[in-house]
Amino acid sequence: MRTAILIVIGLFFCGSLFAQDQPDAKDSVAIQHCIKTKTGANWNWEHCIGIISEICAKDETAMAPSEVVACYAREQAVWDDILNESYRRLRGALDDKQIRKLHDMQRAWIASRDKNCAFIYDYFQGSMANPMMAACTSRATAMQALFLLGFANDVAERK
């Protein structure tokens, strides 16, 4: 039974990584626009998290769990794109020692995100566990994307 649960969790995470290689262009524009409008002395980028998934899954109780998961995957694809681009920009501006630390930090973050979000399944183990895991993964990815975006933008401003 434990092995079956781990396989389901592994398939969920692998599926969320490969389900949407490219984010929907309209979703990307919406989130990028939100980030730009929330920039200033007191950044409020976190308010951009959920703007796609919350509209898509506005009536979660009437939707199949797989539909809710798909809504979170749609948004996560955008955040993954922002995260990867920010990581690339930041990496290009660092020395070898900082690159190793950035790489180590990112690997540790991925492991932490995956374990934290997988705990939801271990705890709830019901039909809503998968949408809750998808929400957790999407939101954690968004927070990390914003974290790296701040550094990448700082590097760009220093040039």
Helix-, strand-, coil-residue percentages of the chain, each rounded to 5 = 80, 0, 20
Domain count, the chain: 1
User: Which structural domain range is residue 80 located in?
Assistant: 2-158
Interval 87-136: pLDDT, tens: 999 999 999 999 999 999 999 999 999 999 999 989 998 888 999 999 99
The pLDDT assigned to 159 comes to 72
Cβ(30)–Cβ(51) below 8 Å: yes
Of 128, 37, 17, 131, the closest CA to residue 79 belongs to: 17
Instruction: Quote the distance between the C-alpha of residue 7 and its chain's center.
Output: 21
The pLDDT assigned to 11 comes to 43
Which position has the higher pLDDT, 150 or 5? 150
Interval 10-67: pLDDT, tens: 444 444 444 456 899 999 999 999 999 988 766 789 999 999 999 999 998 899 999 9
The pLDDT assigned to 1 comes to 46
The pLDDT assigned to 41 comes to 63
The pLDDT assigned to 43 comes to 75
Query: Position 98: which residue type?
Result: Q
Q: What is the DSSP letter of 19?
A: S
Highest mean pLDDT among 4-8, 43-47, 52-56, 154-158: 52-56
Which position has the higher pLDDT, 157 or 98? 98
